Structure 1
């Protein structure tokens, strides 16, 4: 995978290149210290992947991506600051690595690249292709920030999404953070084979269902592992049965 490292700190570039030596599939084809250096290299070398710093002299990492004409490479952001993480994932980043980059976290990021490539090879299409409408599945890892707390969580661990006005509450482990997003917008991003819209307020992870019971007016009551009880509305119960029936 042809890779460019873009970072204004020479020591950071050197350290990342050293760490990437552990991954034979990653071929570092060049380095750049800022957007002015990087843009012509991206046009000429057509890299598959960018390791991209955010704060740089001149254009920052986000502005660099917006300046790319044609197909945008996959992106893994590298930065010393965590406050940009939500915006990074709005740019469909594969991952967001905090400096100093640790080998274990870098390995997780490379594994995600391989998962994306496997999906591309098996479907014949690239689900990311620079679009903000990428469908997220159980193996996708997302950044969640609520106040001063931050998590990187695999969506497969999220058992329930609950609408709270303009926010959505995520339920995973013993955590219940809020994110600024509507449930409808979130539903458009989630793989419907794993995440099911149970009613106006809830999306459930089908793999977490422990028990299903008949409920009022033709609806269903599902119990998730952990004890959460969610009503599936009558209309959604029809879809639910169709989805899970042989």
Structure 2
């Protein structure tokens, strides 16, 4: 399991390295002292897990995650407990208060290994999104997202438990998503085909995809593509 340590304090990074030395299945891929440096390291190293400080100069841990196309698993490490609720709203693996206790770290690493072992993502495609909308945050598995809806340069993400805005356009999302799973139904919608409950045809011949809570009409130009991928 490849880990990237992100903390602006050198001594805190050294302490995490010391604690992680007791876990032979953990490979420390690198470390970063800021959100900007971490973004570069993430792109280069592709770690499985972030040990991420929350409050750092130049950008918080939440700011870093919100800027990523594909968020890895995260264990927050911080001296401030006021961020705990926000971290768990984001579905973080754990939230460890400094000074970090070895047993708490061991339990968090076990959960990380279990979650990563269950995930078999397609190569080079994102596994989940980190979404920050106002003061709330979510980690959302792509499989759990039913559809995306365009709102200008943003996209409304529809999944069980929330409909937050994501700071990505539909075009940006389309370029990163698996086209066999996520279908660009129209100028305004991308649909997760796994969430389509049935397909109907309107009186004018339009194709309509029915999901839980929505009926999305496929544009005429896209209907032929839908047939080609075997969805109808």
Matched residue, 1:27: 27
What is the distance in 1 between the residues matched to 2:38 and 2:231? 48
Trace 1:120-139 onto structure 2 (pairs within 5 A).
Answer: 127=124, 135-136=125-126
Q: Residue 18 of structure 1: CA displacement?
A: 3.0
Task: State the Cα distance separating 1:26 from its structure 2 match.
Answer: 1.9
2:167 is matched with which residue?
180
- For residues 245 and 210 of structure 1, the distance between their equivalents in structure 2, rounded to whole angstroms, comes to 11
Q: Distance in 2 between matches of 1:9 and 1:145?
A: 28
Taking a change above 3 Å as real, the CA distance of residues 108 and 160 of structure 1, as seen in their structure-2 partners, is farther
1:237 to 211, 219, 223: 223
What is the match of residue 147 of structure 2? 160
Structure 1 unaligned spans of 5+: 29-48, 121-125, 128-134
Q: Contact 1:217–1:234 at 8 Å: present in 2 too?
A: no
After superposition, the C-alpha distances for 1:130-188 in whole angstroms (9 at most, x for unaligned) are xxxxx32xxx1221011111111111111010001111000011311112221111110
| Alignment equivalent of 2:63, drawn from 73, 77, 84 | 84
1:74 to 46, 51, 56: 46
* Partners of 2:4 and 2:137 in 1: CA distance: 28
Match of residue 170, structure 1, among 135, 154, 157: 157
Aligned match of 2:37 in 47, 59, 63?
63
User: Which of residues 198, 222, 231 is equivalent to 1:211?
Assistant: 198
Offset of residue 236 of structure 1: 1.2
By how many angstroms is 1:93 displaced? 5.2
How many angstroms apart in 2 are the aligned matches of 1:6 and 1:72? 15
| CA distance in structure 1 between the partners assigned to 2:53 and 2:216 by the alignment | 40
Q: Secondary structure at the match of 1:244?
A: coil
Residues 5 and 233 of structure 1: CA distance in aligned 2, closer, same or farther (over 3 Å): closer
Distance between the aligned counterparts of 1:240 and 1:156, measured in 2? 19
Q: Which residue of 1 aligns with 2:58?
A: none
Shift of 1:219: 2.5
Q: 1:146 to 1:65 in 2, by over 3 A?
A: closer
TM-score where L is the length of structure 1: 0.65
Name the CA shift for 1:234/1:18 in 2 (closer, same or farther; >3 Å).
same
Matches of 1:194 and 1:183 in 2, distance apart? 15
- RMSD of equivalent CA atoms: 3.4
Give the 4+ runs in structure 1 shifted more than 6 A.
none
Distance apart, 1:21 and its partner CA: 4.0
TM-score normalized by the length of structure 2: 0.69
Following the alignment from structure 2 to structure 1, what is the Cα–Cα distance between the partners of residues 72 and 118? 11
For structure 2, the 5+ residue unaligned runs are 56-60, 79-94, 97-104
Matched pairs, number? 198
Query: More displaced, 78-87 or 198-207?
Result: 78-87
SS of the residue corresponding to residue 192 of structure 1 reads coil
